[in-house]
Structure 1
Amino acid sequence: MSITQIGTIALWILAILIPVQLIIGAVVARKSGQSASHYFISGKQLPLVLVFFADFATVMGVGNFIGYAGKGYEIGLNQFWMLAGEQGSKMIFAIFLAGMIGRYAYTTINEFLEKELFHDKWLRAIGGIMMTLPMICWTGAQAIGIGTLLSVVMGIDPVSGIWAASLTAILYTVMGGMWAIVWTDLLQGLIRIVVGAVFFVVVYMGVDGIGGIKTAVTAAKPELWSMNSLGFGAALSLLLTPLCGQFTFQAWWQRCFSAKDAKTAQRGFFWTAVFAIFMCSASIMVGMAAYTINPNLPRPDMAFSWMLTSWLNPVLAALLVVTIIGADMTVSAGLLNSGVTLLLMDVIKPFFKPTASDAELIKMGRWLTFVLGVGAVGVAFSFPSVLSAALFGLAVTGGGLFMPLVLGLLLRDKNGGTYITQNAAKASLILGGGTAAVFQYVPQLAKTFGGGIIPGICLSAVITLAVSVFEQARRKAKVTDSTNIQ
């Protein structure tokens, strides 16, 4: 198979697809411009089909094709720990949280926490700033994946590929907001499911299914067919980092707020989880199969692209290339929109522009999309692999916000409030999230604890409970003293 053929066909398909996506952005721009609610949460009008594809297209991006296959190539079945945390958490999220969140029409998770639990705008601002980080990191992860794909399939310099895909996603997000995102997600999601399924079937038939992969892997590198070879700490970190991070992931909350009702939000996320578990599992196995055939790839992230060029005819391969490029653009667009929503609605509007009109908010949102998009490209040049960038962002929010969120929802008082205090939540965000960031980013610390999430959530849990217990006890003491004086 000629890589040149694949690249040429893919370029022709992209020449049609990219203008179509830009046209969608332009067409729905007027609808998105009706109000800030329409721009950021589609006016809370999304039906089940659009909620599902908005979820699915965001879940199954470049990271879940190229990144999961790369980790399958590198660590084998151990990558199922991350799958259980990342995709399994979506199932838990769908069953226990999505329906509850879908009853509200807030724009961010931090707005929900302010209005329903902690009633503290400073906590909302700190959360908004911190939670923008995983949006940028995940967008950067998409850029890393697309640069890798284009360099393997088309011989394009990765830097040029990163900029081309990122700028396209930025442009149609700027024009159409959430409405542009969900309609392009529908188009891209349908292509992704069909072409991705064909690719997985072709590969599995070619290697005699999972049994054939197991036989080849155990002969070539037995530790790949084990979920214990990484060690307990690293495996636990792979499980907890996405699990904790996903529950505090603005993109999921924003899509629940966009759903027309609670049942729609819950069903959309449930079926997203089902499809994501299947396709991510298939990507891991593709990476393991690639190792048995070619164990000398320069980088593990090249496994998916190499298998694509080796196993599909040029037309199907080109369609899959376009599918993954489209995945990059739709995921990037959704995450950029979520990051912009966090900064604008949690920080800028409450503190700097409290009286801003909807038109002003939309205008600022469009400018912020450019700024965060460029920042995401910068992230793409700072991390060595697709999932290293994504895991860093999830570790920060999971380490800082997961415990206050879960404990705040579980420990409710009789009046519908929470026993977790404002100061406890703020301290957890800053200290827990900061600790997770340092331990995740510094190589020696990451090796010691398997990443940043374990020290982050442990410190967060201690701080959240200790500060809350102390402040609640002090409040009771003040009430008692006051009563005695009277």
Structure 2
Amino acid sequence: MSNQLLGIVVIAAFGVLWIAVGLSVARRVRSTDDYLVGGRNVGVALGSATILATWVTGNTILAAPESGYTFGVLGVLGYAVGGGVAVLAFAPLARRLRTLLPAGRTVGDFFRLRYDRKNYGLFLVMLIIWDLGWLLTQGMGAGIILESVFGIDFHVGLVVTVAIVTTYVTIGGMVSVLSTDFMQTMLIMAVVFLFPAWVYISANPVDVYQGMAGLAEAKLSLSAADGLLFLAVIPLIYTGEVFMDNTFWQRAFALRPNVITRTFTLAGIGWVFVPIATGTLAWVAVGTGLELPGGPSSVAPEVVAAYTGRVGAVIFLVLIWAALASTMSALLNAVSGIFMNDVYNNFVRPQAGDRELLRVGRLLTIVAAVITIVIAWPRPLTLLTLLILLGVINAAYIPPIVMGIFFRKTNPNGVFWGVVIGTVAGLLVFGDGAFDLLWLRLEVVDLPAWLGGELQGAVVSFLISTVATVGWTLLRPREFDFRSMIDWTRSENAGIAEGKK
């Protein structure tokens, strides 16, 4: 059996399994709440599994090694610590959210009730851009891994993966996502720690270290300037990502209130070990001078293919495909949730009933999948670069979310202008004075060399947003009554009970 045929058979087998699971649980989806938040009764084990499955992404398997290849030891440490800290930091926000907004479905519900209409509209635009960008990274990851390991055309791998995931998400929504997440997490955790040991049996660690010392000594340094910058900035990017990501808000609303802190804590700690395990694969490529025809994003599959043979390549494909599928499914469900709950039900048809919303949600899941294929088709940037670019938007929303949840006097105007100015300035810094928008680069201004840089963009975005939000609030505090959120929850629950929703 050829490598290409073998890869297709493996993907088809797991695709049939995930779709079968989606079909088996679809009958439990009777309402919009079931489709978006899975019934709001998820416990610690399933909750931790679904957070891990969502957070162990194609980026974790592909971009963590890319960060190790680019920034060395500090790159791997930064990637691991940044993602774990972000999940741990979300725990107190999630606990507070369930108190203020127990009937919430999406992050959009929070912005609609907490801030004014202009902030709500701006946030929806930013969130949709961010979600589609994140879906782009997962689609690219699918194409890269199938091309690197099995020689399957990048575009074929992209389309097949998106089609399979879309099928089971469309059938059962969050219920399907939760059901497949547990299996995918067990598969990921069982396999992810196998590969470093397997690779290093063939690639002697001493030889790898000596090779790195000779070929790229700076990547071993714990004081390299670029590595330290990455270590300092990546937690900021990841924290903004988690705080803004609707998939985490959906899980906060889906969990039982008494297990929220424990669940996010366990998931955050567990996640740290995954990028450390996969990131060390990059050091083999650096230490041996391994060529990477697919670019830095392909370092992990190239190393696995070179040192574990055909069997290892198949197992690695299963690992990364499970990670891609779990994250893509959560994102598709999250994007469709934003469209159906926040755009359609609030702007297009406020009077829409539950059955109509379910139909729209399923249709919009398919639309989001098609858009994912279209934007990933040109393979615009590396996965790590895309992560940092999206981080410019994420970082600007950390102050509004934290202050909006915990402080009743946060001024909405400061939030709005802080995000707008912070994001624009951050994108200019990211692009060294230009708007570098994947397929289009618009030169705007000449920046001094010390100011421009990809990582610096997120820092600038965060600082401007923080100064504007905090400063405006101190100068012109705007009182907000958190009880209005609780009152909305009572109204929402009453409507559901009467069958009006």
What is the TM-score when the length of structure 1 is the normalising length? 0.87
Structure 2 residue 328 is the aligned partner of structure 1 residue 332: yes
Aligned residue runs from structure 1 range 449-464, under 5 A:
450-464=455-469
Kindly tell me: are residues 433 and 30 of structure 1, through their superposed partners in 2, closer, same or farther at Cα, counting changes over 3 Å? farther
Render the CA deviation track for 1:194-246: whole Å, top value 9, x for unaligned.
Answer: 1222212212444455x664443223211111244344655543342223332
Match of 2:107 among 106, 109, 117: 109
Residue 421 (structure 1) aligned with residue 416 (structure 2)? no
Tell me which residue corresponds to 2:263: 268
Do the aligned residues in 2 keep the contact of 1:398 with 1:453 (CA within 8 Å)? Answer: yes
1:382 to partner: Cα distance: 5.3
Does the CA-based 8 Å contact 1:235-1:450 persist in structure 2? no
> Which amino acid in the other structure matches residue 189 of structure 1?
T
Give 1:369 shift.
1.4
1:39 corresponds to: 35
Residue pair 1:287, 1:304 contacting (<8 A) in 2 also: yes
Question: Structure 1 residues 315 and 291 mapped into 2: Cα distance closer, same or farther (>3 Å)?
Answer: same
Contact 1:166 1:373 in 2 (8 A): yes
Which position in structure 1 is the counterpart of 2:154?
158
Give the structure 2 partner of residue 12 of structure 1. Answer: 9
CA distances 1:81-127 after superposition (whole Å, capped 9, x unpaired): 34332222112223x33333345331122312444xx3534423322
Aligned to 1:225: 220
Q: Identify unmatched segments of 5+ residues in structure 2.
A: 437-445, 481-501
CA distance in 1, matches of 2:335, 2:458: 21
How many Å separate the matches in 2 of 1:114 and 1:474? 16
What residue number does 1:131 align with? 127
Aligned residue in 2 for 1:257: 253
From 183, 187, 194, the equivalent of 1:191 is: 187
Ranges of 4+ aligned residues in structure 1 off by more than 6 Å: none
Q: CA RMSD in A?
A: 2.6
Report the equivalent of 1:292. Answer: 287
Match of 2:90 in 1: 93
Distance 2:463 2:405 in 1: 18
Aligned equivalents of 2:335, 2:372: Cα separation in 1:
11
Unmatched tracts of structure 1, length 5 or more: 413-417, 476-486
**Distance change (3 Å), C-alpha of 1:125 and 1:256:** same
In structure 2, how many angstroms separate the alpha carbons of the residues matched to 1:301 and 1:7?
20
Following the alignment from structure 1 to structure 2, what is the Cα–Cα distance between the partners of residues 368 and 169?
Answer: 14
Distance 2:4 2:316 in 1: 11
Taking structure 2 as the reference length, the TM-score comes to 0.84
Moved more, 178-187 or 285-294: 285-294
Tell me which moved more, 10-19 or 279-288.
10-19
> CA separation in 2, counterparts of 1:262 and 1:200?
37
CA, structure 1 residues 357+51, in 2 after alignment: closer, same or farther (shift >3 Å)?
same
How many Å apart are 1:141 and its aligned residue?
0.7
Q: Secondary structure at the match of 1:201?
A: helix
Q: More displaced, 97-106 or 160-169?
A: 97-106
Aligned to 2:476: 471
**Residue range with higher mean Cα deviation, 119-128 or 329-338:** 119-128
Count, aligned residues: 459
Whole-Å separation in 1 of the counterparts to 2:136 and 2:478: 45
Provide the C-alpha distance between the structure 1 equivalents of 2:454 and 2:231, rounded to a whole number of angstroms: 10
Q: CA deviation at 1:276?
A: 1.5
Equivalent AA in structure 1 for residue 470 of structure 2:
L
C-alpha contact (below 8 Å) 2:187/2:322 kept by paired residues = no
Q: Which residue of 1 aligns with 2:497?
A: none
* Percent identity for Structure 1 against Structure 2: 20
Pairing of 1:375-390 with structure 2 (within 5 A): 375-380=371-376, 381=378, 383-390=380-387
1:7–1:318 Cα contact (<8 Å) kept: no
**Is contact 1:108–1:253 with CA below 8 Å preserved after alignment?**
yes
Distance 2:117 2:83 in 1: 29
CA distance in 2, matches of 1:307, 1:472: 55
Q: Which residue does the alignment assign to 1:200?
A: 196
Deviation (angstroms), 1:368: 1.4
Seen in structure 2, the aligned counterparts of structure 1 residues 168 and 28 have a Cα distance that, compared at 3 Å, is same
Whole-Å separation in 2 of the counterparts to 1:437 and 1:343: 26
Larger RCO, structures 1/2 (Cα 8 Å, 6+ apart): 1
1:395 corresponds in structure 2 to 392
